[in-house]
Structure formats: structure tokens, C-alpha cells
Amino acid sequence: MFVSSAGDRFTRGEKLFMSFVGPRGIIPASVATLFAIELRSDAVGMPGAADVLVGTVFLTILLTVVFEAGLARQIAEKLNVIPMRVIIVGGGRSGASSRPASKTEARTS
């Protein structure tokens, strides 16, 4: 995380926070799926082991996400990265409709 975010764009606290809450479940999930496919093959013939493997990996990912989400605010406060920089898109007049104005609306504008 620190190598990929090198430079002055993020503070040390922001880098630590991103390291804690960053996504990291896609690789284990994909590898577990590949192993499960191999375990289910006729050559190996262990469908029960495949089910246990996939279930364990996805349960671990789910628990990690719930754990990290539950602690994210406390960790952000501890690292002094609150208030976080947030961009709200589509609020107020900037999210107005793009339809052409009627003649009545055009006269009152």
C-alpha cells in the first residue's frame, strides 16, 4: 500500500487507514474457486473438500469485511483522518434534469 501510494498526495494516517480497510478478498476467492473446481474433477473426486474450502474462504472474507467495517470509524479517528475528504456528486442544482426548459420556464429564468 505504501509503495503504490508513494508521494505527497496522502498523509501517513491516510495510508495506514487504506491499508487496514483496503479490499483483499478477490484473490483468495478466485484461487479457492480454482482449487474447488480441481477438487470436484473426476481425477481427484473430493466434492466435500471443495465445499469446505469454498465455504471457509468466503466465510473468512465475510467476517473480515464485517470486522473492518465495524472498526473503520474508530481507526479513522485514531489515525486522525476524520473528516475524510468526500466528493458528493449530483447534489443541489448540479444534479438538475437535462431536459430542455419549457417556454414558461425560459421566460421566468
Residue pLDDT tens, the chain, 109 long:
677 777 777 888 888 888 888 777 788 888 888 989 988 888 888 888 889 988 898 898 888 888 888 888 888 888 888 765 554 555 555 544 444 555 555 555 5
1, part of any domain: no
5, part of any domain: no
What span, in angstroms and rounded, lies between the C-alpha atoms of 32 and 74?
A: 32
In this prediction the pTM is 0.55
70, part of any domain: yes
30, part of any domain: yes
65, part of any domain: yes
The count of domains in the chain is 1
Please count the other Cβ atoms lying within 10 Å of the Cβ belonging to residue 30.
11
